[in-house]
Amino acid sequence: MKMLKRCDDLIPALRQMSTKNAVKCGVDKLMLSATEAMELSKLVKVLTKLDSVTIALQDEELTTLQVRDLFDHTIAKYPIMRKYLSANAASINKAPFERALVKLQSGRKLTPVEREASAMLLAPAVEETSLSEEDSESEETFAQQALKRRRLAGPADIYIDTGFVPPTSNICERLFSQSNLVLSDQRRALRPATLEMLVFLRANRDLW
């Protein structure tokens, strides 16, 4: 992207060169036509938008719901990305669990499959101490007791706060970002195993 951006920035200056000077400098064969320059400018704008998404995905406090919002917004703008970013994309390892996280964080109802996938996130049951029948009758009317029993019938599942679950995309984006920093021009000759070790050490610096 940096190379395309640099080329797009140079186009206005290159257009000011005369054909004679362009031939003399040897850049005449490298200059883009008006149509190619326009397509390049459009491509740079698209890549800039997508780059803002990749940067946002590296936020350590990002939740799965926020990732889904970013992906859905990207799909709405670029439908061709649906194959890769939709909630049912083939690249998702456990789609029901991810959908369950998104729904829990947005307060929506889970499907049976999603409830099963997120069973480990259920909060421990808390036993409530109830008053004796006489004490209850003294504090509540008979009608209030009936309505209260109706509300307590069939308690809804209570889940723990899922905000601590890091999105996979968050970890991957941070890892790829660290890879770009490690694999500089001076380190192109690194063996893959050595590069992998350096990247993981850098990405997990807080664990040293």
Place of tokens 């456990």: 94
Write down the domain spans for the chain.
Answer: 1-56, 167-208
What CA–CA distance (Å, rounded) separates 174 from 172? 5
CA distance 38 to 45: 11
Judge residue 101's burial from the number of C-beta atoms within 10 Å of its C-beta, 0-12 exposed, 13-18 middle, 19 or more buried: buried
- Report whether 76 contacts 134 (CB < 8 A): no
pLDDT at 56 over 90: no
Collapse the DSSP code of 132 into the 3-class scheme (helix H, G, I; strand E, B; otherwise coil) and give the result: coil
pLDDT above 70: residue 156: no
Residue 133 pLDDT: 52
The pLDDT tens digits for 1-31 are 788 888 888 888 877 878 788 788 777 777 7
Higher-pLDDT residue of 149 and 92 is 92
- Average pLDDT (53-80) is 89
Rounded to the nearest 10°, the torsion over CA 53, 56, 60, 66 is -70
The residue with greater pLDDT, 178 or 72, is 72
